[in-house]
Amino acid sequence: MKSRTQHIVAILGFATVVHLPVLALAMNLTGQWSGSTSCTSFDGTLFRIPRSNSTLYISHSGGTFAAHLDTGEGPTDYSGQAVQESGLTTRLRAIMVECHTAPNLVDRSEVVHLKVGETGDGARLKGSSIFRGQAGDIGTCRWTFTRVNKTDPGLAECP
């Protein structure tokens, strides 16, 4: 019998990687983002994972995007979907799923919720995620990034 978490991860993963109709968004996530993730994990004992200065690369087209997170612990790839906030051309929300995420949770899995806003000073991205590590630990992370440039890194969504 599958747990509720396995069902939620499976549904979110399916909804993200299924080809959805192209949406025209006023704001675009494409570019290089600099920031950090701060995580707490649990493997029977609660522990903090040291804050990781990271670079996030995003290629965004229509309503979907591909992302590549480069941290001190190695790279991670994601596919995502963005939705413009109603009536606000400078804000959107997004969800992205780590490419290895699968319903059986045998490998590293992660689902991320993002809030993005753009002002005259640039764009900021904040988010939170839930994950399962390769060793079976589970946890949460907070994401905080600022866009450095709008150059498209040319990423492809998860296979």
Q: Are strands 122-132 and 109-119 parallel, antiparallel or unpaired?
A: antiparallel
Q: Which domains does the chain have, with CATH numbers?
A: 4-149 (2.40.128.30)
pLDDT at position 25: 61
Q: Any idea what DSSP says for residue 85?
A: P
Residue-wise pLDDT tens digits, 36-71: 999 999 999 999 988 889 999 999 999 999 999 998
The answer to whether residue 7 scores a pLDDT higher than 50 is no
Alpha-carbon distance 58 to 136, whole Å? 28
pTM of the predicted model as reported, rounded to 2 decimal places = 0.81
**What H or E segment, with its residue span, contains residue 84?**
strand 74-84
Give the whole-number percent of the chain exceeding pLDDT 90.
62
